Structure 1
Amino acid sequence: MRVLYDVSRLLSRAERTAPTGVDRVCLAYAEWLDQRSDVVMIPVRGRKGRLVMVDQTWFRDFVRSLRARWDGRTVNGAARHEARLLAALTHDQRPAESVICPPPADHKPARDKPRVLRQFFRSRHAAPLPAADLYLNVGHTTLHEADALQALEQDGVDRVVMIHDLIPITHPEFCRPGDADKHRARVVHTLRHASSILVNSRHTADQLAAFAAREGLTPPPVHVAHLGIETAFAPGDAVRASRPYFIHVGTIEARKNLAQLLTLWRRLEEEMGERTPSLVLVGRYGWENEAVLDHLQRSPNLQGVVHQAENLSDGALVRLMRGARAVLAPSAVEGFDLPAVEACAMGAPLIASDIPPHRELTPQARLIDPLDGLGWLDAIRRATLDEASKPAAAFAPPRWDDHFAVVAGAVGLGGSSPLAAHGEGE
């Protein structure tokens, strides 16, 4: 099978030293397609409403280098910040200041222009696309315009698209201005022109069905395939901190409910003083996060207690998650919430919001309504004071092999070949 794999999102992540959840999915698909003997992967990207080829040999090298960087097998510029964070968590006494990254307005990393130019010139702009059986898009890119999907449909190429969530449509107040219209266009074009749709949870499937009904559209076949967990997220070595700490993993944005979490941490600090547990927010600054930045930068009660880090390798991230008193996932809305599932996969205690994706994917976690501030405060307080080690609830993490078995069936491939194990660099 000749597969046009849309790599637009992966190419846009060329300079990142750590992935988001959607980035992980895009990379996993690239590796899965590349190692199948019954697939010819043809990487393509969107350009001015159409698809153009990306050099296949260059792209394979790019995927390998991206995996090495995200696993932590290549050194990145975050090592110094990572060392400061670990020193703050393992010190006997509360640090005078928090360890945080500069906010977005002050932090503009220099772009690697040669790398960007290589991406550009490795695309064959003028050459027509080769004959193909399938177009696969799992990154939401290229879909805001219908031209590429329509052209593929006219050429008789099957079109399989993954929808990760409908949050910009259902909860636009949590997203950047304009994202609602852009994402609505993506979903409408997918419903109209895709041969089949992949979704990451039953909740996302339900949201998609409700949206299609409101729009008067009949969706193509929809396949639910829970995302896989990479092998680095398993029980193992952990950070040994002198004082209890909690961790949240994910982009710092409004829907993550972090402003409320930091308000609760201020209350904890007022009650517990020097015995206050630390909180680590691992993730890039996103959007609609002014309240979080105000807490991090201006609250004296949170200085030396709440820390923030980004661009951590998987090796550093999993050690931090394993050593935490609990992983916190207080989101108001999610499509899948990969970090929450990863926490359960490694046996870390999880306190999560009582929302449909968490009930579907992490039912053994302690689930609390995201609006129940006092309930969250009590759970964090209890976890802080309870030093007894409790065995983690039994959890069978979703596997990429199972995910790709569903995908193989959806696109008409034979049995799914095993996905190569990751996490060697941990």
Structure 2
Amino acid sequence: MTAVVLFDAGRLLDRSGRDAPTGVDRVCLAYAEWLGTRPHTRVVPVVAVRNRLRAVDPGHFRAEIRSLRQRWSGDGAETAGEQALVRALTGQAGGPSILDVEPDPPRLSLRRVRAVRQALASRPLPPPSPGQAYISVGHTALNTPAILADLARRGVSSTIMIHDLIPITHPEFCRPGDGARHHRRLCNALLHADRIVVNSDHTADRLRAFADREALIAPPVAAVPLGLEPVFLTRGTTPSPAAYFVHVGTIEARKNLAFLLTLWRRLQERMGPATPGLVLVGRYGWENEAVLDHLQRSPNLQGLVHQSAGLSDASLARLMRGARAVVAPSSVEGFDLPAVEAMAMGVPLIASDIPVHRELVAGARLIDPLDGLGWLSALEAAAVSPTVAPAYAPPTWTAHFERVDAFIGLPA
């Protein structure tokens, strides 16, 4: 029996021009590839246009998937961005800390441009029929109840992934209006989805608490840790002669990077020429003005802290393996893939003592995200005397999809 799966491709098509993925992008790509290789499964890629699902040409979507995989994984060779970082870390390049183009002011028309592109790349979708399944793992098509409610009326089962509740629990870290938008998404998922997948027990607890506050009955919820790409699964480090630390993630307020850069200025004042470097790998997000002020204007950080983005997985893995430690001082997370990747590779991890880190990377050096002196002590010690990371059993996509497959109940 063939399973027909309507897979929401909206987020991946939005990302078609990006050189490197976010954590959610990685999940979308992994699901697209899994469904595309699953036996007895016919994947119908769809996008939401004006509260209706439209079909995307399967050949076009498969080509996009191949292109994204090739670009995001890399071919193993050093990229220009990696070479620039190596020169900066070894003192072969001066100049500003920002190695990428600085962010443009937010443009409100960007969402509309994306919507137009999706509409042009799509076509009417034949009415879904009972027994089909709809899967959305990118927080897409949830802003109104229209799509999920229509699928339910037609007998199509829907599975939604929720990555976090941060816009609701910590709206101060997000764009204005994101809290209300995410509130609608969660209510629509809870009311109309047949099942919900989340990435951690912490996210599951938050979701159930939200449902209780809203007096909603949650459908079945499965907490299934995300998998890692193969390049991050091999344990082994190659410490660089030039001491440096790495942070990986979007440059946004919840990552606590202004705090981290304040620490680095104090490290420079205490350690002088022996101060280790710091690499921030990630695109610019929202509420990043304080971080940009440090990178652009702090004389103590010039030539010491470097920001870059667009690294392939191969380049990123090499950079992380050479670091004294990966640092993850976030105030809040739903999962935190880079922290898990560091532990999987055996790279020492210094992370904030928050619930999701206690759940997923308990063997790391965990410090309260407000404990400046504790962080200073840990960073200075790791710079002077590199440590050995503890043994760690990383989550894999194979294990993830085995559990998800059983949870969804698609025909084998």
**CA distance in 2: counterparts of 1:348 and 1:178, whole angstroms:** 38
Partner of residue 412, structure 1 = 409
1:107: how far off? 11
Change (3 A) 1:379 1:414: farther
Partner of residue 418, structure 1 = none
1:402: how far off? 1.1
Q: Which amino acid aligns with 1:383?
A: A
**CA distance in 2: counterparts of 1:21 and 1:362, whole angstroms:** 17
Q: Structure 1 stretch 318-327 or stretch 52-61: which is displaced more? A: 52-61
| Contact kept? 1:17, 1:69, Cα under 8 Å | yes
| Contact kept? 1:53, 1:129, Cα under 8 Å | no
Q: Which amino acid aligns with 1:90?
A: T
Partner of residue 389, structure 2 = 392
Q: Structure 1 stretch 129-138 or stretch 18-27: which is displaced more? A: 129-138
Deviation track 1:274-331 (CA, whole Å, cap 9, x = no partner) reads 1110000000011111110000000000000000000111111000000000000000
| Contact kept? 1:327, 1:340, Cα under 8 Å | yes
**CA distance in 1: counterparts of 2:115 and 2:150, whole angstroms:** 28
**CA distance in 2: counterparts of 1:150 and 1:296, whole angstroms:** 47
Change (3 A) 1:164 1:237: same
Change (3 A) 1:277 1:157: same
| Contact kept? 2:98, 2:295, Cα under 8 Å | no
Partner of residue 326, structure 1 = 325
| Contact kept? 1:90, 1:240, Cα under 8 Å | no
Partner of residue 140, structure 1 = 139
**CA distance in 2: counterparts of 1:274 and 1:129, whole angstroms:** 66
Matched, 1:42 2:44: yes
Equivalence map 1:46-85=2 (5 Å) = 46-73=48-75, 79-85=79-85
Q: Structure 1 stretch 348-357 or stretch 227-236: which is displaced more? A: 227-236
| Contact kept? 2:239, 2:324, Cα under 8 Å | no
Q: Provide TM-score, normalisation by structure 2.
A: 0.93
C-alpha RMSD over aligned residues: 2.2
| Contact kept? 2:235, 2:344, Cα under 8 Å | no
Partner of residue 174, structure 1 = 173
Deviation track 1:210-256 (CA, whole Å, cap 9, x = no partner) reads 00000000000001110001111034786663321000000000000
Change (3 A) 1:166 1:246: same
SS of 2:231's partner is coil
| Contact kept? 1:53, 1:123, Cα under 8 Å | yes
Partner of residue 307, structure 2 = 308
| Contact kept? 2:353, 2:366, Cα under 8 Å | yes
1:81: how far off? 3.5
Partner of residue 292, structure 2 = 293
**CA distance in 2: counterparts of 1:223 and 1:122, whole angstroms:** 33
1:127: how far off? 4.2
1:130: how far off? 4.4
Partner of residue 161, structure 1 = 160
Partner of residue 10, structure 1 = 12
Partner of residue 191, structure 2 = 192
Partner of residue 263, structure 1 = 262
SS of 2:7's partner is strand
**CA distance in 2: counterparts of 1:363 and 1:18, whole angstroms:** 28
Q: Which amino acid aligns with 2:305?
A: V
Q: Which amino acid aligns with 2:279?
A: V
**CA distance in 2: counterparts of 1:80 and 1:116, whole angstroms:** 32
Matched, 1:274 2:273: yes
**CA distance in 2: counterparts of 1:168 and 1:265, whole angstroms:** 28
**CA distance in 1: counterparts of 2:325 and 2:59, whole angstroms:** 43
Gaps (5+ residues) in structure 1? 416-426
Amino-acid identity (%): 58
Change (3 A) 1:96 1:148: closer
Change (3 A) 1:102 1:351: same
Change (3 A) 1:216 1:72: same
Partner of residue 202, structure 1 = 201
**CA distance in 2: counterparts of 1:128 and 1:339, whole angstroms:** 40
1:90: how far off? 2.6
**CA distance in 2: counterparts of 1:391 and 1:362, whole angstroms:** 15
| Contact kept? 1:259, 1:291, Cα under 8 Å | yes
Partner of residue 102, structure 1 = 101
Change (3 A) 1:74 1:385: closer
Partner of residue 128, structure 1 = 126
Deviation track 1:79-113 (CA, whole Å, cap 9, x = no partner) reads 4333221111134x7845435323212899xx9xx
